[in-house]
Amino acid sequence: MAFQVKGLTASIALTFSVISFSSVAANDVYVQASSGSFNNAAINSLYTKTDQAKPNYVFSGTPLQTFIAAVDNSALAFTALENSTIEGNLVRATVAAVQEYQVEEVQAGIRTAIEMCVLRSKTDVKANIPLTQIASHPAALKQIDRWKGQYSELKELEIPKGTAEAARMVATGELPSGTAAIGACMLEELYPQVTVTAKAIQDNQDNKTLFALMKVSKRAQPLSVSEAEQALRKVIQQAEAFDAKL
C-alpha cells in the first residue's frame, strides 16, 4: 500500500495502493543514534516489511542533530517519537527537536519492540570468565533491574554515547575483561567479537517505541514545550496510521 500523509492536522488523509519509498530509496536517510542501535534495527525492519531497497543510513546522534543534518542535506530524518515505558510516552529529546524543527510530512511509521540483550566478548565466554560489570546508556541500565537482581555484586558503567558504543568498547577490549554491554541483539552482527548471552532482559516486556520517517524544516520561531508536545502528538497520529498498515 502506498499512501501519503501530509500536514499536522488531526484529520488524516490516506491514499492506498502499495507502500512505496521510491522517491527516498536512492537517497541518504539521517537516522537518530548510531549504527547497531535500536533505531538502526527499527529502520531496517521498516524497509524489510515494505520490501523496499534500503537507503544509505547516516547516523546522526540526537533527534535535534538528526533534524539539523537532514535539513542541511535536503534529506529525510528517522527518529523515535514515543516509548511505552517512559512517563507521558513522548521522547523528550524529540520534543526538544520539534521545538526548533517542523515536521512537514510523515512518509512512514513503525512501532517496534525494544529487546534488551546481553553482549559479551567471545573471548570471555570461551574462557568462562564471570560477569562482573555491565556497560550501556544510562537509560538502558535503569530498565533491567529484575535481571540485575541475580547478581550480588555487579558494577555498572554508564556510556552516554549509547548502547552501540558500549558494545564497541567491549568488542575492542577497551573495557575490562568480565564486562558485558547491554543493547540491541543486532550489535553482534556489527561487532563479531561479541556474542549475545541473554535476550529480552528488560523489566517491561511491553517496551515498544514508535519511529517515523519524516521530512522536516527549520521553524521561523521556536515553539514552547507544550506547543511542541502537541505538535509531536499529531505526528504520532500519522506515524501510527502507517504502522497499522504494515
Question: pLDDT digits over 95-154, tens only?
Answer: 999 999 999 999 999 999 999 999 999 999 999 999 999 999 998 999 999 999 999 899
Mean of pLDDT values over 193-216:
96
Mean of pLDDT values over 52-69:
96
Mean of pLDDT values over 173-202:
97
| Cα 147 from Cα 116, distance rounded (Å) | 11
Question: pLDDT band at 7, cuts 50/70/90?
Answer: very low
pLDDT tens per residue across span 9-56: 333 333 322 344 544 444 899 999 999 999 999 999 999 999 999 999
What was the pLDDT predicted at 95?
99
What is the residue-wise DSSP string for 124-166? Answer: HHHTTPPP-EEEE-HHHHTT-HHHHTT-SS-EEEE-TT-HHHH
Residue 135: CB atoms within 10 Å: 26
Q: How confident is the prediction for the chain on average, in pLDDT?
A: 90
Mean of pLDDT values over 172-190:
97
C-alpha cell at 50: 515494505
DSSP 10: S
Is 73's pLDDT higher than 60? yes
Mean of pLDDT values over 49-75:
96
| Cα 198 from Cα 117, distance rounded (Å) | 6
Question: pLDDT band at 239, cuts 50/70/90?
Answer: very high
Please list the residue range(s) of the chain that carry CATH number 3.40.190.10: 5-114+207-243, 117-198
| CATH number, domain 5-114+207-243 | 3.40.190.10
pLDDT tens per residue across span 81-100: 999 988 999 999 999 999 99
CATH topology classification for 117-198:
D-Maltodextrin-Binding Protein; domain 2 (3.40.190)
